[in-house]
């Protein structure tokens, strides 16, 4: 199948997991979802990533986000791996890990690339909104652990820009100034939407304090 693109509906599926069978769209409900893949169980970098995800449980919950992992190994292997993750990363994995032995999810989400081993998923991240729309995709090489600060930053940006007519500039973090989108030109609308005012660096580059702060 063709690669998934931003704006596509995240494919639905039913698959077993460490928390029992999951029907993806039903499980997601009206929440944001971070779906991320792992090449295999008992791999060192992924062990740190799953531990970090578990450590960020409160941060994900505060944003209304449900994390879910996928690996091509079976459930029994996942559960044994979770014990290792909890012990070595000093945390408690409380999110599901999909057991994708038949590669259903890996295939639906184009996680097995032609130049990789047939049983090794690439290290992909999908940020999916409450309408099941894919909003962000990230793909990392096997040697590089994912940056979860960046994943949270992207979620913060998406949630902010969905609710206000702004965009976020380079290296933006929650609380920084944001960019007013060029489509807003009417002075009355600008005053209503941005009562804290704004500074025009250029006519097309207008910065304003973050509206929801």
Q: Is the domain of 73 the same as that of 135?
A: yes
Q: Is the domain of 125 the same as that of 183?
A: no
For residue 111, the model assigns a pLDDT of 83
For residue 61, the model assigns a pLDDT of 97
Q: Is the domain of 18 the same as that of 46?
A: yes
* 191 three-state secondary structure: helix
What is the domain extent for residue 137? 14-147
Do the beta carbons of residue 110 and residue 5 sit within 8 Å?
no
CATH number at residue 21: 3.40.30.10
For residue 159, the model assigns a pLDDT of 97
Q: Is the domain of 189 the same as that of 141?
A: no
Q: Is residue 156 part of a domain?
A: no
**135 labelled catalytic:** no
Q: Is the domain of 19 the same as that of 115?
A: yes
Domains identified in the chain, total number = 2
Residue 206 CB contacts under 8 Å (≥ 6 apart), including other chains: 179, 180, 198, 199, 200
> Which residue of the set 46, 56, 65, 93 is catalytic?
46
Which tens digit of pLDDT belongs to each residue from 48-90?
Answer: 999 999 999 999 999 999 999 999 899 999 999 999 999 999 9
Q: Is residue 39 part of a domain?
A: yes
Q: Is residue 59 part of a domain?
A: yes
Given a cut of 50, the residues of the chain with pLDDT beneath it are 1, 118
For residue 116, the model assigns a pLDDT of 53
Q: Is residue 73 part of a domain?
A: yes
DSSP assignment of 116-173 equals S-TT---EEEEEE-TTSBEEEEEEE-TTS---HHHHHHHHHHHHHHHHSSEE--TT--
For residue 125, the model assigns a pLDDT of 95
Q: What is the pTM of this model?
A: 0.93
Total count of residues recorded for the chain: 213
Do the beta carbons of residue 32 and residue 63 sit within 8 Å?
yes
For residue 23, the model assigns a pLDDT of 98
Q: Are strands 123-128 and 134-140 parallel, antiparallel or unpaired?
A: antiparallel
CATH number at residue 191: 3.30.1020.10
């Amino acid at each position: 199948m063709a690669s998934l693109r931003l704006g596509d509906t995240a494919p639905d599926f039913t698959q077993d997991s460490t928390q029992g069978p999951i029907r993806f769209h039903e499980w997601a409900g009206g929440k944001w979802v971070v779906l991320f893949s792992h090449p295999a169980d008992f791999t060192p970098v992924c062990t740190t990533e799953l531990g970090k995800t578990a450590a960020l449980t409160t941060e994900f919950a505060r944003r209304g986000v449900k994390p879910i992992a996928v690996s091509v190994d079976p459930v029994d292997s996942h559960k044994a791996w979770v014990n290792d993750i909890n012990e070595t990363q000093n945390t408690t994995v409380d999110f599901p890990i999909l057991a994708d032995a038949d590669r259903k999810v890996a295939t639906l989400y184009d996680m097995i690339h032609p130049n990789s081993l047939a049983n090794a998923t690439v290290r992909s991240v999908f940020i999916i909104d409450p309408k099941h729309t894919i909003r962000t995709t990230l793909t990392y090489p096997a040697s590089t652990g994912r940056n979860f600060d960046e994943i949270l930053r992207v979620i913060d940006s998406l949630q902010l820009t969905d609710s206000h007519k702004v965009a976020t500039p380079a290296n933006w973090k929650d609380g920084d100034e944001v960019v007013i989108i060029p489509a807003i030109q009417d002075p009355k609308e600008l005053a209503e939407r941005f009562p804290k005012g704004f500074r025009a660096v250029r006519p097309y580059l207008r910065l304003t304090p973050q509206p929801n702060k």
